[in-house]
Chain A
């Protein structure tokens, strides 16, 4: 389905632990969209957990070593670009890459620690960059958008845009890169104030009450704005807004939920890929039938 004449390209893929478990729908939509765009995703061989929040919260050395092993493995596999769909994995891999680039004291014993060396020649991209720089230009634009009339808000969360010295991605206060993609796909992108407000992240299990409080504000703002759906690019954000939305609805006595999509699901829907393939059915809050065609079916 990729635009005719474009050869298949290989991009390194770091799915991250969530995408094989709670974020399975994300993985499915990533693969479906990549296939359609003629991108061969090369999973980093034998990749390990990046350490996420837990590692940097308790042990700095570990927090650098775990992602550093993945960077080294990626280079050993001859990869030059690594796409990490989870914002936390993206942030951890990029942080380790930047730390090694700077060569500060904390990185001096890393090669010994992980038993591998890293030459620094990787570009780590997040889902928004993957979409805008690689996928979008390789997917044909349908003459009539399947998303026309669909009102969406972009939820960037924290780790895509912060800290700006590490991510160097978009504007940390008012990012627009995902909004632009959604607009280009023909959706009506609504402006709202909660683009980069924290959802509670890793507190989902241990302090669900905090996540419910923070998620409820984000969901209320999306509702206020009149959104038909919220679009995210991180499985943690998705969980806190989708799985935990059930708890919010219970707490606030709400009847209708607002569906939460992954950016790749939206891209897939816009490209006419079947909902069933994209993993939309795996959401907790009913999310099927977003596009006109799917609604008709």
Chain B
């Protein structure tokens, strides 16, 4: 089925949402592909970074929000640094991730990556700081990758790198309030 491209599909509410969230005007991109050329994880992606921006340009947000690409992005910021039109592609990726979660469109096959972010922030919300031991436990429950790195844990412990009891900061209530005000 050919897609429909009209003034309204191209400049709809999602386009405005992306522009506001990322502070980026995607129409400035002329699809040179330099971002994709330099992306260290491009090989793994289902949609190349420049094509993600193209989808945004055409208002084809669903494909972008459901992609694996946005979760595979390692936030290395090589794309933004080298873009000749100074389009902040890294910020576009951030914004698409946020929009994807908010609309419940996150790619199910990328659940480990999404679980990692959620587990990380769970510990920050609870203790004020990320703590590896509870974070990994949370991640494993979310992702069901129960046996991952199981061999590494004793090694970490022996080297004094595995703190079992998380440090709780005094201001953790403040931090919790920040989380709730941000809607997370």
User: Which A residues have a C-beta under 8 Å from some C-beta of B?
Assistant: 17, 20-25, 46-49, 51-63, 65-66, 69, 104, 106, 113-115, 158-159, 162-164, 172, 197-198, 200-203, 205-208, 210, 214, 243, 281-284
Contact = CB atoms under 8 A, between A and B. Distances in A.
Contacts of B23: 104, 106
Contact of A57 (B94, B129, B131): B94
B113 A284 contact: no
B76 A198 contact: yes
B90 A163 contact: yes
Nearest to B22: A60
B75 A56 contact: yes
Interface string B169-180: 111101101110
Contacts of A202: 74-75, 116
Interface in B54-103: 72, 74-78, 80-81, 88, 90, 94-95, 97-98, 101
Contacts, number: 168
* Residue from B74, B101, B129 having most chain A Cβ neighbours under 10 A: B74
Contacts of B74: 198, 200-203, 210
Tell me the interface secondary structure of chain B in the complex: helix
A91 to B, nearest CB: 9
Contacts of A243: 152, 156
Contacts of A66: 124, 175, 178
B143 interface: yes
A55 B121 contact: yes
B98 A59 contact: yes
A200 B170 CA distance: 33
A21 B162 contact: yes
26 contacts: A20-B129, A22-B132, A25-B161, A47-B129, A48-B128, A49-B124, A49-B128, A49-B130, A53-B117, A58-B101, A59-B183, A60-B98, A63-B94, A65-B181, A69-B171, A114-B178, A162-B76, A163-B77, A164-B81, A197-B40, A198-B78, A203-B41, A205-B136, A206-B113, A206-B115, A206-B139
Contact of B155 (A62, A172, A206, A284): A284
Contacts of B155: 284
B98 A58 contact: yes
B131 to A, nearest CB: 7
Interface string B31-45: 000000000110010
Contacts of B167: 20
A158 B77 contact: yes
Contact of B21 (A60, A65, A115): A60
Contact of B139 (A46, A60, A205, A281): A205
A55 B75 CA distance: 12
Contacts of A282: 159-161
Contact of A158 (B76, B112, B115): B76
A51 B124 contact: yes
B169 A47 contact: yes
Given A17-B131, A60-B98, A162 B163 contact: no
B6 interface: no
Contact of B163 (A20, A51, A200, A207): A20
A162 B81 contact: yes
Nearest to A217: B40
B80 A62 contact: no
A21 B76 contact: no
A48 B171 contact: yes
B46 to A, nearest CB: 14
Interface centre among A48, A56, A65, A206 (most CB of B within 10 A): A206
B184 interface: yes
B72 A60 contact: no
A206 B143 contact: yes
A172 B82 CA distance: 10
